[in-house]
Amino acid sequence: MTYCVALKLKEGLVLTSDSRTNAGVDHIASFRKLHVQEVPGERVIFLQSAGNLATTQSVITVLQQQIKNAERHILNVPGLYDVAELVGKTIREIIKRDSGQNQGVDFGCNMLVSGQIKGDEPRLFHVYPQGNFIEACEDTPYFQIGESKYGKPILDRIIDFETPLERALQCSLISMDSTLRSNLSVGMPLDVVSYLNDALSSPGIRRIDETNEDFLKLRQAWSEGIRALFDSIPLMVKD
């Protein structure tokens, strides 16, 4: 299992993914779940994945091969909608190819597709294993995939379309920390992107590991703040 969250806000995009993959306690490893493809100055596309690792790696590989060999690929289609459509088609084909090989294995995966193509605003899509997808909007400015339940409450309470990027990044990291504390199948290091509207190039994927001082300070401040708030709440008076 893994956890990825993507936010589409007025100022841009915030993306956060963990890197843990496990197939039981004896088979835990780290694999990057956040990928970027770009034509600087023309388009930048981010892909986040959760689900069967073989499926997600195959999808990423096929999409990269299409860039080299196919007439139509994610770096030349006219819009992000078309990118999401290509990703969905590829997911569907990979699952169909592999699903007959082993009984009882879940080959499904979910992907978050985001980015910006010149002449259009940044967009964010959640692509399902069936290949269909939905788009984020002002009323629903974020998507989660993977182990989402532990990190959802803070996003629901804090995030709206107007949230500044820096605050949104803090919130996404706290959402991730809540998940790290409650589920061993999600783990460090983390990959983070903060993309400002109309940059049209990747700002680079920032990797956060267990020794990152900023993350450790944020984790401690959140933990102490929650405890202090809880202690300050008046006890309920029984009738």
**82 within a domain of the structure (yes/no):** yes
**188 within a domain of the structure (yes/no):** yes
CATH code, domain with 9: 3.60.20.10
Count Cβ atoms below 10 Å from residue 166 Cβ, excluding itself.
11
Whole-number Å distance between alpha carbons of 224 and 58: 42
**239 within a domain of the structure (yes/no):** no
* Structural domain range at position 151: 3-231
Model confidence at 185, pLDDT cuts 50, 70, 90, reads confident
Report how far Cα 191 is from the mean position of its chain's Cα atoms.
9
Phi, psi of 194, deg, nearest 5: -125, 110
**More confident of the two residues 30 and 158:** 158
Q: What is the pLDDT of residue 31?
A: 80
Of residues 180, 155, 141, the one with CA closest to residue 11:
141
Q: How many residues does the chain have?
A: 239
pLDDT digits (tens, 9 = 90+) for 188-217: 999 999 999 999 999 999 999 999 999 999
pLDDT digits (tens, 9 = 90+) for 21-77: 654 444 445 688 999 999 999 999 999 999 999 999 999 999 999 999 999 999 999
With pLDDT > 90 as the criterion, what percentage of the chain qualifies? 82
Helix (H) or strand (E) holding 171: helix 165-182
Of residues 131, 172, 157, 145, the one with CA closest to residue 3:
145
**208 within a domain of the structure (yes/no):** yes
**134 within a domain of the structure (yes/no):** yes
In the chain, the number of structural domains is 1
